[in-house]
């Protein structure tokens, strides 16, 4: 085996250790603090600025910008965060992701703590095997931390004195073309490893080993920052509109910061040589990490004041396809059950409002082809929502989440049945609208529907349930009296049998619709 081949294999092994360590560390930290971080993100994100701070802090703690981004997309899909506020978290995640570079530069290279990592790995493994609950998760995080720095040491050793593909003669960072080539190489590295942190760590190890020069490393990390958006793009494929917009915002922002960094790179090198030459020559890994953090902070500070126009730009790039009420749902629910159920609850709520608006128009005018088309579209939304809920299983859910899911399923069932009343029984609806003897009942149902729409939008489900319950009881009490009155008119010859039957069926339609409205509202009220 050639020397170059051996170096490549050793470097690949070191990179593998680093990736495994980072995955384990993120998994452990997420299990230890994931729910608290999610609550913190929601609690402290009230504007793009506070969102940027929350995103940076969460990413620095989890050491995974992907975890922060995925959680944020879930919050937006569930209606818990506005799109503008979520952009702040995405921007802040870019700053937080640079923390790994400082960790590697300080502990992995400058202090060279690799000899302490194997005992730490043993401690982590023991906690994982012998501990339970949080102790086991702490063990996973410690083992991941140890593997991460063991991988850095292996990378640094493999690259010592080896230029590999990054030979200065092959990629001249002194020219624009050379810097562009290095940028593309950095992007490709992140695409292959699916981790910008791994790319930055590899670059720092190569820089410390003398395999590349500082200008090359700076161009590489710019490309790696762009490459990290690939993960978001892949995650958004087939996802909701909110997910696609978040991914698009991530891409646009990172392209902007990359352009900014590429422009100031020569200026940074010149300033470093003039005012702080020792940093670039003796501690190039810190010079690189400083540059990486600096251009991300600069990008955030430049874009955050213009978050609203930035969000408008993203919306123009990815406009909504019509008024689909379940567009916020992805094809597959997120792994976090509480997030999946929260998203489903929002979609059920939106679908209920849409059906109420269609019902309000239907009670005010004769059924039309346009209404029928809207009901067909709504049926597709209901089917998609049913498929989404079907993928959330009761097994493994806590008791409150299990009850929450059951009530959503019951509510969706009554939504389906209410939709059938509106779509498949147009003659009964036509009789309700045209019959003078049912004018009072029709107006009562209209008032209920008009009352339920704002209450549902404001999520005042208990008030909605109480209003629906009163109306349903009224129709139940009126039905017997109305039936007696209609049959008396038929017997007296004032009304033919077909006309009487149509009126009785119309009254039953009103009662059943009011019952469905009551039960939907009741099940939604159980979520409070």
Tens of pLDDT along the chain (528 residues) come to 445 566 667 767 776 777 777 677 767 766 665 556 556 666 666 677 888 888 888 777 766 676 676 666 656 655 556 666 678 888 888 888 888 778 777 776 655 556 677 788 888 888 888 887 778 878 887 888 777 767 766 766 665 544 444 454 467 777 888 888 888 888 887 776 656 776 787 788 778 777 788 888 888 889 888 887 776 676 566 556 666 787 788 889 999 999 999 999 989 888 888 888 877 777 888 888 889 899 999 999 999 888 878 888 887 888 765 545 566 565 556 667 777 788 788 888 888 888 888 888 888 876 667 777 777 777 777 877 887 788 777 776 777 888 888 888 888 898 888 888 887 777 777 877 777 777 788 888 888 888 888 888 877 888 888 888 888 888 888 877 788 888 888 888 877 888 888 888 888 888 888 888 888 888 888 765
What is the tens place of the pLDDT at every residue in 178-194? 888 888 888 887 776 65
Using alpha carbons, list the distances in angstroms from residue 282 to 22, 209, 213, 216: 28, 12, 12, 16
Nearest to 183 by CA among 271, 109, 263, 95: 263
Phi (first) and psi of residue 7, to 5 degrees: -65, -45
What is the C-alpha separation between 285 and 486, in angstroms, rounded? 89
CATH architecture of 337-525: Up-down Bundle (1.20)
Tokens of 417: 């049945």
- R_g (Cα) of the chain, nearest Å: 31
In this predicted structure, what is the pLDDT of residue 164?
A: 46
Count of residues for the chain?
528
In this predicted structure, what is the pLDDT of residue 190?
A: 75
Cβ atoms of 519 and 406 within 8 Å: the answer is no
**In the block, residue with structure tokens 């915002």:** 249
Using alpha carbons, list the distances in angstroms from residue 233 to 127, 238, 310, 318, 336: 36, 10, 18, 13, 20
Cβ atoms of 61 and 103 within 8 Å: the answer is no
What is the C-alpha separation between 441 and 511, in angstroms, rounded? 9
Residue 481: Cβ-neighbour burial (10 angstroms; 0-12, 13-18, 19+): exposed
Provide the b/e sequence for 324-349 (b: ≥16 CB within 10 Å): bbbbbbbeebbeebbbbbbbbbbbbb
What is the C-alpha separation between 423 and 421, in angstroms, rounded? 6
In this predicted structure, what is the pLDDT of residue 387?
A: 77
What is the C-alpha separation between 476 and 148, in angstroms, rounded? 68
Angle 9-10-12 from CA coordinates, rounded to 5°: 65
Angle 120-66-308 from CA coordinates, rounded to 5°: 140
**DSSP annotation of 166:** G
In this predicted structure, what is the pLDDT of residue 165?
A: 47
* Domain ranges across the chain: 3-317, 337-525
In this predicted structure, what is the pLDDT of residue 131?
A: 81
H or E segment at 420?
A: helix 399-424
Contact partners, residue 223, CB within 8 Å, separation at least 6: 182, 183, 184, 185, 186, 187, 188, 189, 190, 258
In this predicted structure, what is the pLDDT of residue 82?
A: 60
Nearest to 52 by CA among 95, 10, 108, 9: 95
* Predicted model pTM: 0.56
Phi (first) and psi of residue 475, to 5 degrees: -65, -35
The count of other CB atoms within 10 Å of the CB of residue 260 is: 17
């Amino acid at each position: 085996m050639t020397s170059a081949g051996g170096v490549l294999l050793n470097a690949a092994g070191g990179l593998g250790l680093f990736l495994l360590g980072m995955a384990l560390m993120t998994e452990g930290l997420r299990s230890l603090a994931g729910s608290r971080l999610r609550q913190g993100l929601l609690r402290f994100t009230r504007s793009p600025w506070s969102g940027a701070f929350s995103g940076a802090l969460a990413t620095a703690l989890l050491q995974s910008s992907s975890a922060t981004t995925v959680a944020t997309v879930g919050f937006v899909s569930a209606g818990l965060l506005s799109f503008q506020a979520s952009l702040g978290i995405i921007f802040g995640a870019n700053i937080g992701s640079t923390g790994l570079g400082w960790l590697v530069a300080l502990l992995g290279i400058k202090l060279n703590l690799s000899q302490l990592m194997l005992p730490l790995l043993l401690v982590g493994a023991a906690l994982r095997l012998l501990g339970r609950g949080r102790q086991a998760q702490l063990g996973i995080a410690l083992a991941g931390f140890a593997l991460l720095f063991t991988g850095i040491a292996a990378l640094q050793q493999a690259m010592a004195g080896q230029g590999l593909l990054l030979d200065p003669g092959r990629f001249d960072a002194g020219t624009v073309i050379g810097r562009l080539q290095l940028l593309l190489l950095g992007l490709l590295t992140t695409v292959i490893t699916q981790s910008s942190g791994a790319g930055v760590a590899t670059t720092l190890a190569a820089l410390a080993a003398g395999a590349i020069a500082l200008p090359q490393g700076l161009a590489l990390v710019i490309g790696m920052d762009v490459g990290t958006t690939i993960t978001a793009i892949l995650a958004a494929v087939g996802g909701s509109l909110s997910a696609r917009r978040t991914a698009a915002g991530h891409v646009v922002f990172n392209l902007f910061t990359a352009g900014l960094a590429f422009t100031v790179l020569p200026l940074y090198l010149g300033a470093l040589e003039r005012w702080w030459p020792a940093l670039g020559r003796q501690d190039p890994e810190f010079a690189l990490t400083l540059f990486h953090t600096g251009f991300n902070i600069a990008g955030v500070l430049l874009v955050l004041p213009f978050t609203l126009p930035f969000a408008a730009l993203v919306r123009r790039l990815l406009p909504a396809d019509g008024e689909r009420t379940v567009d916020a749902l992805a094809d597959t629910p997120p792994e976090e059950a509480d997030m999946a159920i929260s998203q489903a609850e929002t979609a059920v709520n939106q679908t209920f409002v849409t059906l109420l608006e269609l019902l309000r128009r239907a009670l005010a005018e004769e059924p039309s082809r346009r209404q029928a088309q809207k009901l067909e579209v709504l049926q597709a939304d209901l089917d998609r929502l049913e498929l989404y809920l079907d993928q959330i299983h009761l097994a493994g859910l806590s008791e409150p989440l299990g009850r929450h899911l059951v009530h959503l399923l019951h509510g969706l069932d009554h939504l389906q049945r209410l939709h059938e009343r509106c779509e498949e029984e147009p003659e009964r609806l036509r009789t309700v609208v045209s019959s003078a003897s049912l004018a009072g009942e029709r107006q009562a149902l209209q008032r209920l529907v008009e009352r339920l729409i704002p209450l549902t939008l404001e999520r005042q489900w208990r008030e909605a349930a109480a209003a629906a319950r009163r109306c349903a009881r009224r129709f139940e009490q009126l039905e017997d009296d109305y039936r007696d009155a209609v049959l008396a008119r038929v017997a007296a010859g004032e009304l033919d049998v077909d006309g009487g039957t149509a009126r009785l069926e119309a009254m039953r339609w009103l009662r059943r619709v009011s019952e469905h409205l009551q039960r939907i509202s009741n099940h939604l009220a159980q979520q409070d």
